[in-house]
């Protein structure tokens, strides 16, 4: 999984019906130092995250597991909201 900030959302009227009951959020992955790293992506949200929150997300088909028995063609999903994290360099 990777840490990320929720930075926005996507509105799409014409989409696979599997996405009808899910939010589509835009994530900016971040490193353990809290800095942006890599490309933004679009993820489904299984935990009720909102813009501005720090989360961790999963890549791959596992992204849709929390929605079972609903199914959707997703490859990225938020699976946790981060309270804080600690590394040998300190706490964030």
Cβ count within 10 A of residue 67:
18
Interface with a copy of itself, residue 45, by CB under 8 A: no
H or E segment to which residue 57 belongs: strand 54-59
Radius of gyration of the chain (CA): 13
23 is an interface residue for a copy of itself by CB under 8 A: no
**Is 84 an interacting residue with respect to a copy of itself (CB under 8 A)?**
yes
Q: Which residue from 23, 39, 45, 50 is in contact with a copy of itself, where contact means CB under 8 A?
A: 39
**Shortest reach from residue 45's CB to a copy of itself, in Å:** 11
Angle at alpha carbon of residue 77, lines to 60 and 91, rounded to 5°:
110
Q: Which of 7, 6, 41, 43 is nearest to 24 (CA)?
A: 43
**Interface residue list for a copy of itself (CB under 8 A):** 1-3, 7-16, 18-19, 24, 26, 28-29, 31-33, 37-43, 46-48, 51-52, 56, 58-66, 71, 73-77, 79-89
């Amino acid at each position: 999984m990777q840490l990320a900030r929720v930075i926005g959302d996507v509105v799409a009227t014409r989409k696979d019906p599997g996405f009808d009951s899910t939010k589509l959020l835009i994530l900016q992955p971040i490193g353990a130092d809290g800095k942006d790293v890599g490309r933004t992506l679009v993820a489904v949200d299984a935990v009720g995250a909102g813009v501005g929150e720090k989360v961790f997300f999963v890549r791959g088909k596992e992204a849709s597991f929390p929605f079972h028995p609903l199914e959707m063609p997703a490859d990225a999903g938020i699976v946790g909201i981060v309270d804080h994290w600690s590394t040998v360099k300190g706490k964030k």
